[in-house]
Structure 1
Amino acid sequence: MSEVGPESYPPVFRHQPSTTQTQTQNPDHLPDDTTRETQDFDDVPLIDLQSLDLEKLDEACKDWGIFRLVNHGIPHTLLTQLQERARDVFSLPFEAKRSLFSGPLVSYFWGTPALSRSGDALSAGPVNINWVEGLNFTLAQLSQLFQEENSILHSFRLLMEEYHGHLVRLATTIYEAMVTNLNLELEQCTSYLSESTGILRLYRYPHCSITDETIMGMAVHTDSSVISILSQDLVGGLEFLKEDNWHHVNPIPNTLVVNLGDMMQAISDDAYKSVKHRVQVNRSDERFSFGYFVFPAEGSVIRSSKYRPFTYSDFQAQVQEDLSTLGFKVGLERFKPAFSDD
């Protein structure tokens, strides 16, 4: 494993922040009376993919929007090797990462989870930066990456290609089960989940000695995806909101975390929820995680009784406009028939 030096971090993370920082607006756009304390116990629903219980899955999607996945069929050795190789890659000097990971198929970002359609990091407005750096990969074209003689990057690509195959299998299985539970026509809904749209984001959350509400690993947000599948290390920090309380998602070896995104909420006519979640920073340890996000096919029109017809491209364009003008994502509310900008 590579030794981590300060030169591997983006400059903004090389000096610990001051406690005098203040927020200029509510950072997560939640009601002011939302409970900020986090529940210490972990009660995330558990779904066994080998003996998939449709009723239990339906309950998790309706009441939680997030669940653990066990017996998922991804070899533990593969997950371990991916974590080790990701550490090696993130340990490269900052300028080397900026040079290596730039282009239409892979991008390097830091300070914000908001990405443009090309993968470039966007300003989050007046809210403090997020304490995270990451790599964004277009999975459908992985084979075109890292053809040069670089043993670290070449082996990393091979691991990601193997991982991608498993992710497609998991996302398809879970999605088809949800469509069955919702009594939707699978043939009509096939274009709502397209393998070609899949992206993999690798995150490194540097340790931060100052922890208060002005500093987050990743600020509160919902995913824009249909389904998101997360593999995390054992450091912890992921939390989700349920009934105005924050809940830990404690790391458990060889389990994955699945959460639903905005597209699935729309497809389900709001029967299923796109869960709000965030990541806390750790005082002493880095945190690494892999997030897989999959979306509707290009041009596929989502028709819902709750929203005006829209494509994912329509949705993403509106998100980028809101990020640029307001500093935060409005999301599905924009597509409700009665929505007003006032």
Structure 2
Amino acid sequence: MESLPPSLRHLNHHQAPPTINHNGNSTNPTKDKDNQDQEYDLAVPIIDLQSLSHEKSKLDEACKEWGFFRLVNHGIPLTLLNQLQDQAKQMFSLSFDTKQASCNGNSTTASYFWGTPALTTSGTALTGGPQNAHLVEGFSFSMGQISQFQPQLPELESFRLLLVEYGKHLSRIATTLFEELVKSLELKNLLDPLSSKSSYLDVNTGNVRVYRYPSCPDSNDVRWGINEHTDSSVLSILSQDDQVSGLEVLKDHKWVTVKPIPNTMIINIGDMMQALSDDTYKSVFHRVKINNNKERISICYFVFPDGDVKIESSKYKPFSYNEFRAQVQKDIKETGNKVAGLSRFPRNNKDN
């Protein structure tokens, strides 16, 4: 297909898939079955945002035991979610050359990528292995600058307008959840607007990634859009395709397939929240499986601390998100994978 990057076009021609480097991970995904743990999905926690004051213990337990939950009554109009999905499909249907030229990988506001979900701060693909190691393509948008973005493509401009509205909801949800979590952790000082620690969740750092995972017909092998990993964020908010499954999360050493449910957001704890919670909350491992019959589009929002604010924890030596990100990118360049990021910052006895 002309719309797919050259490295992904084999998926539609029944050719052998590229080799995926899976160093350092604890499981062997190629042995998983399509129907593994389907019933276990029923146990995924569901949090009602409109009743959050009555679900504090349920939210706290979800973050401790899963690091992951479904969010209902989130206040995002269903029409907006549907428009985002429809417009994303139009963007991805453009020719590969058109998509590549639309951003050229040089914009800090928007970029187009494929073959890897790892990007530098300038939006260029970051990989230490083959460019086609992951079966994915996508667009990345910096929400702090999205209002000023002036794309030349009508499809990108239409999506930008939707993102401006969507971003307001994402900021509201992320802030509401973060406030509730730090209260549960008795870290209310992180919310003090007069404190130097007031930017542990900075909505100006918000980033939206729009992913397209192509289908792979007539394949007897398990193929991966994104290998298992944790997010580096404080929180991640996912709107996934409401018809096509693919997302899996690791729970009690089992992979749980997260079935799509319309008008339901997926929230997961990231590395920064795990560090802030002294490992009380879990930055969950997750991955994306390629569907044999249908392509899948998902839209994920990642929000981080201010880059220079120090993360202080009894489990890890003090570090900033900028330092954490630099270490992750160094690991990807050297190994092709995100080595478990927090393990790079162990607290020594001499650390205060």
Deviation at 1:27, TM superposition (A): 4.6
How many residue pairs match? The answer is 331
SS of the aligned residue for 1:208 comes to coil
Conservation of the 8 A alpha-carbon contact between 1:114 and 1:124: no
SS of the aligned residue for 2:199 comes to helix
Conservation of the 8 A alpha-carbon contact between 1:27 and 1:127: no
Deviation at 1:118, TM superposition (A): 1.6
SS of the aligned residue for 1:14 comes to helix
Deviation at 1:190, TM superposition (A): 2.8
Between the aligned partners of 1:138 and 1:162, the Cα distance in structure 2 is: 14
The answer to which of 303-312 and 34-43 deviates more is 34-43
Conservation of the 8 A alpha-carbon contact between 2:91 and 2:155: yes
Matched, 1:292 2:301: yes
Question: Could you tell me which residue of structure 2 aligns to residue 335 of structure 1?
Answer: 345
Question: Could you tell me which residue of structure 2 aligns to residue 72 of structure 1?
Answer: 74
Cα gap change, 1:154 to 1:190, in 2 (>3 Å): same
Deviation at 1:126, TM superposition (A): 6.3
Deviation at 1:117, TM superposition (A): 1.9
Cα gap change, 1:325 to 1:28, in 2 (>3 Å): closer
Between the aligned partners of 1:181 and 1:21, the Cα distance in structure 2 is: 45
Question: Could you tell me which residue of structure 1 aligns to residue 206 of structure 2?
Answer: 198
Deviation at 1:194, TM superposition (A): 0.1
The TM-score normalised by the length of structure 1 is 0.91
Question: Could you tell me which residue of structure 1 aligns to residue 269 of structure 2?
Answer: 260
SS of the aligned residue for 1:8 comes to coil
Between the aligned partners of 1:183 and 1:260, the Cα distance in structure 2 is: 17
Task: Note the alpha carbon deviations across 1:59-116, whole angstroms, 9 max, x for none.
Answer: 0000000000000000000000111011111111111111112322111111111112
Conservation of the 8 A alpha-carbon contact between 1:112 and 1:124: no
Between the aligned partners of 1:110 and 1:126, the Cα distance in structure 2 is: 11
- Aligned AA for 1:178? L
Q: Residue 163 of structure 2: which of 138, 160, 165 is its match?
A: 160
- Aligned AA for 1:12? S
Question: Could you tell me which residue of structure 2 aligns to residue 139 of structure 1?
Answer: 143
Between the aligned partners of 2:116 and 2:72, the Cα distance in structure 1 is: 30
- Aligned AA for 2:101? S
Question: Could you tell me which residue of structure 1 aligns to residue 59 of structure 2?
Answer: 57
Conservation of the 8 A alpha-carbon contact between 2:139 and 2:209: yes
Deviation at 1:217, TM superposition (A): 1.1
Q: Structure 2 unaligned segments of length 5 or more: list them.
A: none
Between the aligned partners of 2:135 and 2:220, the Cα distance in structure 1 is: 11
Instruction: State the superposition RMSD in angstroms.
Output: 2.2
Question: Could you tell me which residue of structure 1 aligns to residue 233 of structure 2?
Answer: 225
Cα gap change, 1:27 to 1:207, in 2 (>3 Å): farther
Between the aligned partners of 2:130 and 2:212, the Cα distance in structure 1 is: 23
SS of the aligned residue for 1:167 comes to helix
Cα gap change, 1:145 to 1:49, in 2 (>3 Å): same
The TM-score normalised by the length of structure 2 is 0.89
- Aligned AA for 1:55? S
SS of the aligned residue for 2:119 comes to coil
Question: Could you tell me which residue of structure 2 aligns to residue 13 of structure 1?
Answer: 8
Task: Note the alpha carbon deviations across 1:237-282, whole angstroms, 9 max, x for none.
Answer: 0000011100011000000000010000000000000000000001
| 1:17-56 equivalence runs, <5 A | 18-19=15-16, 26-27=22-23, 29-30=25-26, 36=32, 38-41=36-39, 42=41, 43-52=43-52, 53-56=55-58
Q: Structure 1 unaligned segments of length 5 or more: list them.
A: 1-5
- Aligned AA for 2:37? Q
- Aligned AA for 1:114? A
Deviation at 1:34, TM superposition (A): 12
Conservation of the 8 A alpha-carbon contact between 2:135 and 2:214: yes
Question: Could you tell me which residue of structure 1 aligns to residue 180 of structure 2?
Answer: 177
- Aligned AA for 2:76? I
SS of the aligned residue for 1:68 comes to strand
